[in-house]
Structure 1
Amino acid sequence: MIALTIGAIGVVFGDIGTSPLYAFREALNQTAAGGIGASEILGVLSLAIWSLILVVTVKYVLFLMRADNQGEGGVLALTALARRALGRRSLIALILGAAGASLFYGDAIITPALSVLSAVEGLKTIPGLGGMFSEEVILGLTIVILIALFFIQSRGTASVSALFGPVCILWFLAIGGLGIWHITDEPSILRVVSPHYGVMLLATHGVTGLFVLGAVFLTVTGAEALTADMGHFGIKPIRLGWFLLAFPCLVLNYLGQGAFALNALEAATAAGTPFVNQDWFFLMAPDAVRPWLIVLAMLATVIASQAVITGAFSLTQQAIQLGLLPRLRIRQTSATQAGQIYLPTINWLLLVGVLVLVIQFRTSSAMAAAYGIAVTGTMVVTTCLAYIVVRHNWNWGRPLALAVIVPFLTLDLIFFGANILRVVEGGWVPLAVAGCIGLIIYTWNRGRSIVREFEQRQSIPLVDLAAALAKRPPERVEGTAVFLTANPDSAPGALLHNLKHNKVLHEKNLIVSIRTADRPAVEPEDRAEIRPVDDNFTIVVLHYGFMESPDCPRDLGFEAIAHKKVLNPAKTSYFIGRNTLKPTADQGMPLWQDRIFMFLQRNASDPTDFLKIPPGKVLELGEQVTV
């Protein structure tokens, strides 16, 4: 339990743990136009603390972590759970899951850019050296760190992940200690635990209050990781890490920043000089300690970025298994940890997106406006999926389900509405990313649906084909033929083409279909569902969880029928249907969408790689399909 809790602190809380670098500063900055006074400082602090209590502690830690899918969490795990509950009415769950996944990619691009840049900007606060670090130097250092981070992904993180927990524990203790140090200078800051100050700020500042609320939401970014990483660590270690370390240290640091800002306000008022919003997090550290704090902040933000990148890999794998995205090449980077994977395409696309953001926005303050929309949008989706789960999986009555979910949804929508106001400032970036991903998901699923409909029109029932071949047997050849198909009850197109052109049938013929279950993993004994058709054909349906990678030869080769191995690898050939797509404006999708689908199809990972089939054993047969 101790080891799991330390690991959870290093992975789960990296994102939310680095929010103090910029959250308080940015929220206070939204009140600057009308002048920053004590009421603004106290109001922002009160809103920040109650956001941590209501959004993270109550909603995620105490409630949503109970809505797990066999231990797995996250938006797509909830989607699978909701689809199981709704059955044929699962389209709404699929749409919500696709929206949540799309928004997550916007978050995955912004988190590394914002967190690392905000840590490097701390170099400007070092006494005597601040002038050396111009905006160009800070941007250059940030870009170097980010490029190095993405380049090491292919080697896996198993060798360095053992350091994540201790570094993050040191980080939380450091920020909590700094907070306590400044709270002792201004103990009256503890009064912000009362929500009265936050309510008064919103009530007296009109539209500005909503902008403040949007910036305050930066304190809870990363809350989704608490549920997304449940499968790696378990519920109890994450809860222990939150209540014993992360939550108290975050609250103490925000209180410390507020106390430090109040002291600075009093000093400015006494001196008759204007009060200026500053980089409170780094300035609250003593001059001698500040360089070490900056180094620790850089390490913590790299760890936070690593957690988001790994999360993007895992989410993509789940999306591929659920059929939302085309197949991509997935590499295992650890011989012992199945969750340690690397997707080259996603890695380099994220790097390009991160670098564009850093170069475009140039400062963490400019980028902060783009952060909240993706996270709040994902939270709204998660809450809607949670309603489906508690209503249909947990069988709660509608009044009870609404009584629990509506307050959470209202809170999410308030935060989402507050962040929508910042679209022009940069919030359009995650929305644009989410829109592109959403278009890809829709196009891929619509195109696959058209291809499936074509194949169904051309196919004949396997039972009818088997009966016809029994009456007029073709030439037989030695060995086993494996025909991969989406619908095992219909004769695969590759089988029909093989009979039509080659006029032969193998000694044994397996009609194999891959099914993705609505749970993370499938037990080995439930992997293969075997249904003999006749002496010539056997249907084999292989079941995989949405967190697993298919391995056709392994799972066929070791299954037994009547104590005989299904496959002799040396005498086995795999037949895959590979249709040629032809775009047309007259039917199916619009021409521009046809082009996108064809691009996705061309660049999808080869099914032989995805299913772990030896390349020298594969024959591809197909025909032209109009989309």
Structure 2
Amino acid sequence: MNNDAPARNSTTAALALLALGVVFGDIGTSPLYAVKETFSAEHGIPLNAENILGGLSTIFWALMIVVTFKYVTLIMRADNKGEGGIMALLALASSAVKNSSRSHAVILLLGVIGASLFYGDAVLTPAISVLSAVEGLEVGTAAFRPYVIPIAVIVLVTLFAFQRHGSAVVGALFGPVCALWFLSLGAVGVHNIIQNPMVLWALNPVYAFGFVTGHSFASFVVLGAVLLAFTGAEALYADMGHFGKRAIRIAWFGLVLPALVLNYFGQGALLIINPGAIANPFYHAYPDWALYPMIALATAATVIASQAVITGTYSVTKQAVQLGFLPRLNIQHTSVKQIGQIYIPSINWILLISVLLAVIGFGSSSNLASAYGVAVAGTMLIDTILTFFVIRYKWGIPVIVAAISTGFFIFVDMAFFSASLLKVFDGGWFPVFVGTAIFLLMVTWRRGREILIARLRQSSVPLEAFLDSLMRSPPVRVAGTAIFMTSTPGSVPHALLHNLAHNKVLHERVIFLTVIIKDVPWVPPDERVIIEDLGNNCFQLTVNFGFKDRPDIMQVLDQCREYELEFQPLQTSFFLSRETVIPSIRYEGMALWRERMFATLARNASSPVEYFNLPANRVIEVGTQVEI
């Protein structure tokens, strides 16, 4: 008998409950607006029983194909040591084709575009979710209409202001509140289906096929609204590392999918009986006595969905910084127990301002819905393309099998993405603008760092030759340890040259420390440190981190005791080179305006002291100017 089985099952059940809020918060709030937008009169499709069945069938099979078959069945298998998400998939795919420079460049480009679109999604999710929940007040009485946007703004400002305290307290409520939310979705769906059970015919895919082919161009346009039903599907993959595949799949098949389908079908049953309910079919599906409790529950659910996206934004940003696509940022850890709970002040407030601009600028969930689809569909398409590279090159699957297994999903994603592009001038420009701005920042920073390191290498001196020459007539050796942090191993750090030039001394022990971020989420402790003895009490210390690790140098120095290299904090000094970037037209590089952008980003990057957890009173920074 396996005594661990009950404990394991209990843990899985607990994780599945927590996943309801964090993983399914976004897709779980889609019923607030998906049916309303799918059957909008603007599409020119008559609101009759046949078309309602067709629309419901399209929503159902979109959930099955995109979420169940693509993400739950296929993409969740492409994990990077248990981790998921666009950055993890980018690292996995790029490592699979590292021997092909062309494929590697394409994958990096796709990954950066996908990550950039994620930020557009992160702006719109809190905006449309909270606003659509608060709009339920208009169903009760039109007198609330002038207060919808102010109330939504208050909710959002409160949510973002709370972020600095961490999400642990609210996180404990995520699961139970969302469980109640999904149960209420399913219950009201059953209530309305019983009154009009003919909607169950929508399970037949023939209705979906007729709906997406039988209305000429309008059938194509309406796909841009149908995709609202599965926004947030990528969260299943992105949060896989936190909850595990098993817990996410149990939550999806056990509660989330049935609740969503029942609610969508219930809204459809209501519309067949009462087409006038199209003004807000979600809230009209509830009896009058349940309206205001559901508004409160919907607001709580949308806050949870927003919290999940905000937390995801912090995580993606941290990974982008680690992988070298963004400059160092002030990352605060809000929990001593959970390393993944972080808070990034600059991202938080930029995100809040962007969300408020979206809420006030678009003014309604319907207007926001037009903007929403582009970022979501684009990210999902890129996920599928990157998965092809993993299947083909990482798993070694024959190209024909890899093409067939992903080709169908790429076709479906392309259909939804193309339909969403039709909304570019109706609001879709907003996430495109946000994504383009982030993309430009990422590629400029990445390219700027490459140019900067190349320029430093050109003017650097080989380390081994320099040490050999130096030790022939060594300077005065003073007590203590000097750690020179450098991004160019094998070359003499500028900080060492300046220290010798000005102080005329060399410490008793000298460490050249280089931090390398690997294309894996976590690096095991036994693979973290590599020490090379350079002679004369000089050492090259290479430290490996994963893109989800916290780069804590002091913790690494403690670990060095295992390698018979012990550090006394009060006898150790850290020497850092701080480069001031000078844009110039003298060298080949980027356009001058991009070089100026890179210089601005470099100037405003957070201090390496905070980023690497160095003791501030033991750090000496030496400045140097570098033209690029």
- The answer (yes or no) to whether the contact 1:583–1:594 under 8 Å persists in 2 is yes
Q: Does 1:574 align with 2:574?
A: yes
Q: Does 1:11 align with 2:22?
A: yes
Which runs of 5 or more residues in structure 2 are unaligned?
1-11
The one-letter amino acid paired with 1:154 is R
Q: C-alpha distance in 2, partners of 1:14/1:425?
A: 26
Q: Does 1:304 align with 2:305?
A: yes
- Shifted more, 254-263 versus 576-585: the winner is 576-585
Alignment correspondent of 1:159: 169
Alignment correspondent of 1:95: 109
Q: C-alpha distance in 1, partners of 2:304/2:623?
A: 47
CA-CA distance at 1:558 after TM superposition: 3.2
Alignment correspondent of 2:427: 426
CA-CA distance at 1:194 after TM superposition: 1.1
The one-letter amino acid paired with 1:35 is P
CA-CA distance at 1:507 after TM superposition: 0.6
Q: C-alpha distance in 1, partners of 2:564/2:544?
A: 21
The one-letter amino acid paired with 2:31 is P
Give the SS at the match of 2:349: helix
Q: C-alpha distance in 1, partners of 2:504/2:411?
A: 65
159, 174, 198: which is aligned to 2:184? 174
Q: C-alpha distance in 2, partners of 1:318/1:621?
A: 28
Give the TM-score taking structure 2 as reference length: 0.96
Alignment correspondent of 2:283: 282
Q: Does 1:251 align with 2:251?
A: no
Alignment correspondent of 2:211: 201
Alignment correspondent of 2:489: 488
Q: C-alpha distance in 1, partners of 2:627/2:528?
A: 35
Q: C-alpha distance in 1, partners of 2:80/2:563?
A: 35
Give the SS at the match of 1:370: helix
Q: C-alpha distance in 1, partners of 2:167/2:622?
A: 40
Alignment correspondent of 2:600: 599
Compared with structure 1, are the counterparts of its residues 30 and 235 closer, same or farther at alpha carbon in structure 2 (3 Å cutoff)? farther
Q: Does 1:35 align with 2:62?
A: no
- The answer (yes or no) to whether the contact 1:466–1:536 under 8 Å persists in 2 is no
Q: C-alpha distance in 1, partners of 2:41/2:168?
A: 41
Alignment correspondent of 2:89: 78
Q: C-alpha distance in 2, partners of 1:498/1:93?
A: 42
Q: C-alpha distance in 2, partners of 1:382/1:561?
A: 41
Give the SS at the match of 1:68: coil
Give the SS at the match of 2:350: helix
- The answer (yes or no) to whether the contact 1:30–1:212 under 8 Å persists in 2 is no
- Shifted more, 465-474 versus 145-154: the winner is 465-474
The one-letter amino acid paired with 1:190 is L
Counterparts of residues 378-393 of structure 1 (less than 5 Å): 378-393=379-394
CA-CA distance at 1:594 after TM superposition: 2.1
- The answer (yes or no) to whether the contact 1:31–1:208 under 8 Å persists in 2 is no
Q: Does 1:417 align with 2:413?
A: no
Which runs of 5 or more residues in structure 1 are unaligned?
266-274
Alignment correspondent of 1:184: 194
The one-letter amino acid paired with 1:119 is A
Q: C-alpha distance in 2, partners of 1:150/1:532?
A: 49
210, 215, 220: which is aligned to 2:225? 215
Counterparts of residues 49-448 of structure 1 (less than 5 Å): 49-88=60-99, 89=101, 90-126=104-140, 130-134=141-145, 136-265=146-275, 277-448=278-449
Compared with structure 1, are the counterparts of its residues 30 and 93 closer, same or farther at alpha carbon in structure 2 (3 Å cutoff)? farther
Deviations 1:511-558 (A, max 9, x none): 000011111111112111111111231001111111111111221133
Q: Does 1:46 align with 2:60?
A: no
The number of residue pairs the alignment matches comes to 613
The one-letter amino acid paired with 2:27 is I
CA-CA distance at 1:429 after TM superposition: 0.5
Alignment correspondent of 1:2: 13
- The answer (yes or no) to whether the contact 1:31–1:212 under 8 Å persists in 2 is no
CA-CA distance at 1:39 after TM superposition: 2.4
CA-CA distance at 1:93 after TM superposition: 2.1
Q: C-alpha distance in 1, partners of 2:50/2:199?
A: 11
Q: C-alpha distance in 2, partners of 1:479/1:289?
A: 71
Deviations 1:564-603 (A, max 9, x none): 41x1110111111112222224433222212211211111
- The answer (yes or no) to whether the contact 2:43–2:221 under 8 Å persists in 1 is no
Q: C-alpha distance in 2, partners of 1:536/1:493?
A: 20
- The answer (yes or no) to whether the contact 2:236–2:248 under 8 Å persists in 1 is yes
Q: C-alpha distance in 1, partners of 2:107/2:487?
A: 22
Give the SS at the match of 2:279: coil
CA-CA distance at 1:622 after TM superposition: 3.5
Alignment correspondent of 2:612: 611
Q: C-alpha distance in 2, partners of 1:50/1:562?
A: 57
Q: C-alpha distance in 2, partners of 1:204/1:96?
A: 34
Give the SS at the match of 1:184: helix
Q: C-alpha distance in 2, partners of 1:553/1:470?
A: 29
- The answer (yes or no) to whether the contact 2:45–2:218 under 8 Å persists in 1 is no
- The answer (yes or no) to whether the contact 2:521–2:547 under 8 Å persists in 1 is yes
Alignment correspondent of 1:268: none
Q: Does 1:467 align with 2:468?
A: yes
The one-letter amino acid paired with 1:131 is A
Give the SS at the match of 2:278: coil
Alignment correspondent of 1:272: none
CA-CA distance at 1:446 after TM superposition: 1.6
Compared with structure 1, are the counterparts of its residues 562 and 244 closer, same or farther at alpha carbon in structure 2 (3 Å cutoff)? closer
- The answer (yes or no) to whether the contact 1:120–1:294 under 8 Å persists in 2 is yes
Alignment correspondent of 2:6: none
Q: C-alpha distance in 2, partners of 1:615/1:511?
A: 19
CA-CA distance at 1:214 after TM superposition: 0.8
- The answer (yes or no) to whether the contact 1:30–1:215 under 8 Å persists in 2 is no
Q: C-alpha distance in 1, partners of 2:409/2:586?
A: 46
- The answer (yes or no) to whether the contact 1:497–1:622 under 8 Å persists in 2 is no
CA-CA distance at 1:276 after TM superposition: 6.8
Give the SS at the match of 2:443: helix
Q: C-alpha distance in 2, partners of 1:595/1:496?
A: 28
Compared with structure 1, are the counterparts of its residues 517 and 32 closer, same or farther at alpha carbon in structure 2 (3 Å cutoff)? closer
- The answer (yes or no) to whether the contact 1:447–1:597 under 8 Å persists in 2 is yes
CA-CA distance at 1:495 after TM superposition: 1.4
Compared with structure 1, are the counterparts of its residues 352 and 389 closer, same or farther at alpha carbon in structure 2 (3 Å cutoff)? same
CA-CA distance at 1:32 after TM superposition: 5.3
- The answer (yes or no) to whether the contact 2:582–2:627 under 8 Å persists in 1 is yes
Give the SS at the match of 1:533: strand
Q: Does 1:477 align with 2:487?
A: no
Q: C-alpha distance in 1, partners of 2:448/2:148?
A: 45
Q: C-alpha distance in 2, partners of 1:66/1:564?
A: 41
- The answer (yes or no) to whether the contact 2:212–2:219 under 8 Å persists in 1 is yes
Give the SS at the match of 1:78: helix
Alignment correspondent of 1:270: none
Deviations 1:426-483 (A, max 9, x none): 0011100000000001111121112111110111221111111121211211110001
Q: Could you say what the CA RMSD is over the residues aligned between the two structures, in angstroms? A: 1.3
- The answer (yes or no) to whether the contact 2:277–2:284 under 8 Å persists in 1 is no
Alignment correspondent of 2:5: none
